[in-house]
Structure 1
Amino acid sequence: MTKIKNKFMNRSWLLLLATGLLLILGSCNKQLDIQSSRQADEAGHWTSYEDARSGLIGLYGLFRAAVADNNAHWLLGELRSGDFKSVSRPDLKAIIDGNLNASFPAIQSVTNWRRFYAVVNACNLFIERVKECEADQRYTESYYKLDIAQARTLRAFVYFYMVRIWGDVPLITRSQDGTFEQLPRTKQDAVLSFVEQELKEAAPYLPYLYSGNDPEQKFPNNYYGNNSAYWLNMPMTRLGAYALLAHVAAWQGRYVDVAIYTDFIINNASKSNLKLLSSDEVVNSLFDASNTTLGYNQLLGFSFLKTKGETTTEGHIEELTLANTTLYAMSKQMPDIYVPKDVISVIFPKTNGNDDRFGVDTTTFLKLPTTRYFENYSSAVPVFKKVRVVDGSAGNRGKFAVFNSSIVFTRLEEIRLLRAEALAVLGQTNDAFTELNVIRGQRKITSVSPASGADPIDEIFAERRRELMGEGWRWYDLIRYNRIKHNNAAFNELIDQGGIYWPIAQDVLNRNPKLVQNAYWQ
């Protein structure tokens, strides 16, 4: 958590996160790359209901910090060969151009997987020790089963996240103490097999809603003393686990399974208060988890709530994309990254003039009736404003901005587009277009008919490009698209040679001789 300097966190959150850190930092590093030094005696930390709660919330805090550190979620998923360009930062340009061996601190940080293994070890430790908290009668069996399911799901999520970045990664399923163990990398298929099995076993023990109506009476009614609004968009739900299962299957090209998992999510969406959002709701509310009027619309993500003291200066896409605009008088005159106008015109073509995310008047091609995604379009560097949850931003010229936007991994719109992708690959073209047109209808653009001769895969990924811009999907979508189409020789070669994965940080390699660098980067 080297870059997230959250000086605004309240004391309770710091205590919870610190407890998790004390329990895991001593043992997480020794399994892979460095000798351990214990930070605290664990023996007294697994005796109560409060210990279980603090340990569990610590897992979420560590994972959130791992994906937010140095804006890693966007550097990893949005920049490489993507739509954003760097205004002046050479490190961001290096990532965009695929020069991932460049010696920039941001790249060195992103290629270091230790922060993810801190989460893995914390999950392992929690799974092994939290049973001891049943010595406190308040920590019932229903709490234990639910908390274990969350820890297993989080651990699976971490491994899937790492596989997409590095391919083969060491698979560690137990915490270790006192013994220095250097482990080699595990083949990604074996890691993903473990991930899928964990998610399948954990999912039935996760609720659709926390502290919601539970007809089965197997989940705590008032989870850790808080109502459903308190847990809004926070813990892993059953549908979140199925969303991960769908993406694991898509990454492996198992589209029959993708269709099954996404169908389950869509058919049960109402149980988690999920709905498709209007463009206004996406831009104004989706990334602001403090807005509770929408219900549970972040299917899977990480929130930063001002009410819980989680305002931060870093770890949000706004840090990269916002600048001094007419609406937000910030001291930052230019963004770090932007989408060039010629790229915008391709993503949002004139034929989509009614697109209420962004578009031009189809009569004059001059008026800009919909500007939810961009502003300052008349300038050389348009400002991407789709995600903008800025704290105290009005009239703060000369001050640095702080942010509260959530990192949204997936939402119902993304899942429906993923289902459309699966149906198209499976040859169910009419159904694929039906799913695609559901999303197009939400964005006020005309349907695409199978009779038009349009390629369903091209249309679906073009819609993903528009709908999910700035959410960390572009690079992974390019990989899946090229695996399906297999008509781009240069990208196919990148896939075949393992160039789609990132290099492992040299610091990690130096500390563990059993690790081997990705062949493409040797």
Structure 2
Amino acid sequence: MTGKKIITVSLTALLFTASVPFSACNKQLDINSTRQSDEANSWKSIDDARSGLMGIYGLFRAAVADNNTHWLMGELRNGDFTSLKRPDLKAIIEGKLNASYPVIESITNWRRFYAAINACNLFIERSGEAMADARYTGVNHKIDVAQARVLRAFMYYYIVRIWGDVPLLTKSYDNGSFKTFARSPQQDVLGFAVREIEEAAPLLPYVYGNGDPVLPGLVYHTKTYDQWRNTLINKVSAYAILAHITALQGNYYATAGYTDFVMQNYSKIGINYLSVADLTGKTGIFNELAGDLASDQNQFISFNFIKGMGESSVSGHIEQLTLAYPLVSKQLPDIYITNDTLASMFPTSNGQDLRFGTDTSSVDQGTPTLYRNAYITGYGEEIPIFSKIKSINGGIAGEQQFNVFTSAILFTRLEEISLLRAEALAVLGHVDDAAALLNNIQSRRGVKAFDPAVPGADLIKEIFEERRRELVGEGWRWYDLVRYHKIKKDSPAFNALISNGGIYWPVAREVINNNPNITQNSYWK
């Protein structure tokens, strides 16, 4: 596999949940067991192992897609979007995270993440039994377990960003032996995640089904390179996750090291930089191609919804929140970016930004000002539409009458990792190298080069402003704000929010009611 979208999963993978469905638990974390009564018969063959592994990917995708969790938690709070008519979304934007709305109560329940973590634990413990099937080789099993370990670590990183201290579970539990767990310090959880990936990443191939030295042969789990190329965690994506974990820890020396590995090796998995058309076009990274393959754009980590596999859906896509007429049959969007905010995000001093800005090439004297519409449709109107991501049932605006979407949930890509590396180098004082990375991204977007030697130039601020522009709508804004203010320490209000634990979300009341050892985040008590 070349890592084209290194995490994608067909809903057919959720056959796993048919073989090991959720059952009621004994108030462990308000999560359900992934075991069932005939669990002893569930690990007999390579087919069982394959279903178990693919099920983990499917459960992870379901966790981040549920109620649009990825965007509600990553994009709205203190972000660039405004809510037009939904008080629940407005509450999130304003940081009123303990407001009594069903969607807030739902997304603050970590049950779905722990269901996926429990599936990882179960796979790590039991999948070796499937080696009784001679087709399931030791090499195959070792790589499968390495994926499960990286996915488990990735999930812990994901939820620590949200809740801070979280329970650390490293064993699976069936119905009869569920226990109650208290929350572990976030640094302990992140430390566990780092150790897990450091041990597992060297065991992973760069590509699957294409004769990788770690995984010889042209077939992996009955499929070839072309069929797996957009599907699984590989060595480079594992190190990309490590880079993010260490940045969250504030360990920028480690972040610089892990991002260096990614930058030195991304070509081995077919990754390349993206044009604006790659980001927003019909065959861009958020969209699918014909049949059962994902988009032809190579990225590190994303979860795809492929129409050819029956994965089109109404929810779990940012388009559900951002698109409206004339792009889809919806009168007004739930969220949008105001004209004033757009103007502040994309200042004219940046040059001819290809993502959004004045299109002087097609403006004659006396004609109306035209704007580049790669990211925005209807700038200047009262409600401009954020249309950077618009995979409408496998097509584009105007081609479908139904609000059904197929866009990927993209976690990271080469531009994002490059800017994360620039952030780390800037913090460590490697100004020239950081500026070179920043300008490499900006030059591809028509933005004038940033000169850190100019009096008053703020390299770190400009790196985060470029992340704001480049990654808008991809679920990064809130987490970027947290890291930025931890570095700068120049906002008393945000500093207080960090010190008092207000950067984290409250835990759902249902979780606390079901487990007396789970306490609420102090800021939200």
TM-score by length of 2: 0.92
What SS does structure 2 have at the residue aligned with 1:229?
helix
What SS does structure 2 have at the residue aligned with 1:462?
helix
User: CA distance change for structure 1 residues 248 and 217 in 2, over 3 Å: closer, same or farther?
Assistant: closer
Pair 1:131-2:166 in alignment: no
What SS does structure 2 have at the residue aligned with 1:408?
strand
Correspondence list, 1:372-521, <5 A: 372-391=374-393, 399-453=401-455, 454-521=457-524
CA distance in 2, matches of 1:354, 1:394: 25
Instruction: Give the CA deviation at 1:313.
Output: 1.0
Equivalent residue number for residue 221 of structure 2: 224
Equivalent residue number for residue 287 of structure 1: 286
User: CA distance change for structure 1 residues 220 and 27 in 2, over 3 Å: closer, same or farther?
Assistant: farther
**The 10-residue stretch of structure 1 (171-180 or 62-71) with the greater mean CA deviation from structure 2:** 171-180
User: CA distance change for structure 1 residues 259 and 473 in 2, over 3 Å: closer, same or farther?
Assistant: same
Could you report, residue by residue, the CA deviation over 1:118-171 in whole angstroms, capped at 9, with x for unpaired residues? 000000001111101111111111110111011001100110000000000000
CA contact (8 A) 1:168 1:188 kept: yes
**The 10-residue stretch of structure 1 (360-369 or 259-268) with the greater mean CA deviation from structure 2:** 360-369
Equivalent residue number for residue 303 of structure 2: 302
User: CA distance change for structure 1 residues 366 and 425 in 2, over 3 Å: closer, same or farther?
Assistant: farther
Amino acid at match of 1:208: Y
Instruction: Give the CA deviation at 1:283.
Output: 1.2
Pair 1:98-2:95 in alignment: yes
User: CA distance change for structure 1 residues 151 and 278 in 2, over 3 Å: closer, same or farther?
Assistant: same
User: CA distance change for structure 1 residues 218 and 29 in 2, over 3 Å: closer, same or farther?
Assistant: farther
CA distance in 2, matches of 1:414, 1:234: 20
Equivalent residue number for residue 210 of structure 1: 208
Structure 2, unaligned runs of 5 or more = 1-8
CA distance in 1, matches of 2:473, 2:300: 17
Q: Quick one: which of 149, 154, 157 aligns to 1:157?
A: 154
User: CA distance change for structure 1 residues 332 and 35 in 2, over 3 Å: closer, same or farther?
Assistant: closer
Correspondence list, 1:233-382, <5 A: 233-284=230-281, 285-290=284-289, 297-325=298-326, 328=327, 330-361=328-359, 367-382=369-384
CA contact (8 A) 1:30 1:180 kept: yes
Instruction: Give the CA deviation at 1:401.
Output: 1.3
Instruction: Give the CA deviation at 1:39.
Output: 4.0
TM-score by length of 1: 0.93
CA distance in 1, matches of 2:382, 2:247: 38
Pair 1:111-2:114 in alignment: no
What SS does structure 2 have at the residue aligned with 1:472?
coil
Equivalent residue number for residue 5 of structure 2: none
CA distance in 1, matches of 2:215, 2:33: 39
Q: Quick one: which of 196, 199, 211 aligns to 1:198?
A: 196
Correspondence list, 1:29-68, <5 A: 30-33=27-30, 39-68=36-65
Amino acid at match of 2:146: A
Superposed CA RMSD: 2.1
CA distance in 2, matches of 1:333, 1:451: 48
User: CA distance change for structure 1 residues 66 and 180 in 2, over 3 Å: closer, same or farther?
Assistant: same
Amino acid at match of 1:472: G
Structure 1, unaligned runs of 5 or more = 1-11
Instruction: Give the CA deviation at 1:353.
Output: 3.8
Instruction: Give the CA deviation at 1:375.
Output: 0.5
CA contact (8 A) 1:170 1:186 kept: yes
Instruction: Give the CA deviation at 1:31.
Output: 3.0
Equivalent residue number for residue 9 of structure 1: none
Identity %: 53
CA distance in 2, matches of 1:21, 1:351: 56
CA distance in 2, matches of 1:359, 1:287: 22
Could you report, residue by residue, the CA deviation over 1:40-61 in whole angstroms, capped at 9, with x for unpaired residues? 4111111111111111111111
CA contact (8 A) 2:82 2:93 kept: yes
Could you report, residue by residue, the CA deviation over 1:51-104 in whole angstroms, capped at 9, with x for unpaired residues? 111111111110000000000000010000000010100000000000001111
Instruction: Give the CA deviation at 1:369.
Output: 4.3
CA contact (8 A) 2:287 2:294 kept: no
Instruction: Give the CA deviation at 1:19.
Output: 2.6
What SS does structure 2 have at the residue aligned with 1:420?
helix
Amino acid at match of 2:341: V
CA distance in 2, matches of 1:334, 1:35: 38
What SS does structure 1 have at the residue aligned with 2:416?
helix
CA contact (8 A) 1:233 1:301 kept: no
Instruction: Give the CA deviation at 1:287.
Output: 0.8
CA contact (8 A) 2:303 2:409 kept: yes
